[in-house]
Amino acid sequence: MDMTLESCRTFVEVLASNAPAPGGGGAAALVGAIGTALGNMVGSLTVGKKKYADVEAEIIALKAKCDALQTELLDQVEADDKGFVPLAKAYGIPKDDPDRDRILEEATITACAVPMHIMELCCQAIDCVTVFAAKGSRLAVSDAGCAAVCCKAALQAASLNVFINTKTLKNRDVAEEMNRQANVMLNKYGQMADEIFEDVKAGFGQ
């Protein structure tokens, strides 16, 4: 079942249950989509205003990018569920099965793919929010700050869904490369999101 087609209340209720999905990855994807949409809203409130005519073309292009990002992040909610299924099945293989380790290793790598992609999408979203915060409508700048916070939270949440799986990989070269990529994104884009938040907060004299 595609949980993004359910109500917000149903999503949260299922998230709180003992159902295997959605979990942290699906939640991260949804939060990332919400953060992206908040940034996109700033763009929507900027387009068509004479005061921002000089940046309108850039904002329109960013809005189109965010439209695609929102959709792709929402698609990751179900993708994360499907990516976890092989791993859940692999853990059910009898320990004396000679193929268990290989299948488990492959399934673990598969389970890392979606949260890694969620991280990449959140990074792209933060790039967009940086521009919305700097050039978008001042009446909606608080929403740009909120967007940055949500996207950072999604980025961090997705990373934990990578790290819990790389920890169990037997191939440490593959694991460490995934960890490296995840940490590069966390460090660079986490800082960018923090700077957006602090700039917006400072604009309110706080």
Q: To 10 degrees, what angle do helices 100-135 and 172-203 make?
A: 20
User: Tens of pLDDT along 82-101?
Assistant: 998 889 899 999 999 999 99
Q: CA separation (Å) from 2 to 75, 84, 109, 194?
A: 9, 14, 23, 32
What confidence score (pLDDT) does residue 20 get? 81
Cα-to-chain-centroid distance, residue 23 = 13
Sketch out the chain's domains with CATH numbers. 22-203 (1.20.120.680)
Residue in 23, 19, 62, 11 with CA at minimum distance from that of residue 41: 62
pTM: 0.95
Q: How many helices (H) and strands (E) does the chain have?
A: 6, 0
User: Tens of pLDDT along 7-47?
Assistant: 999 999 999 999 888 999 999 999 999 999 999 999 999 99
| Cβ-based neighbours of 18, under 8 Å, separated by 6 or more | none
Token pair 């997705």: residue:
158
Q: Is 43 exposed, middle or buried (0-12, 13-18, 19+ CB in 10 A)?
A: buried
Q: How far apart are CA 62 and CA 148, in angstroms?
A: 15
Cα-to-chain-centroid distance, residue 36 = 9
- Torsion, CA 13, CA 88, CA 184, CA 70, rounded to 10: -40
- List the alpha helices (DSSP H) in 141-171: 141-166
Residues lower than pLDDT 50 in the chain: none
What confidence score (pLDDT) does residue 85 get? 86
Q: How far apart are CA 206 and CA 159, in angstroms?
A: 30
Q: What are phi and psi of 17, to 5 degrees?
A: -85, -175
Q: Which residues of 154-163 are buried (b: 16+ CB within 10 A; e: fewer)?
A: bbbbbbebbb
| Cβ-based neighbours of 39, under 8 Å, separated by 6 or more | 66, 125, 128, 129, 132, 133, 143, 144, 147, 148, 151
What confidence score (pLDDT) does residue 21 get? 85
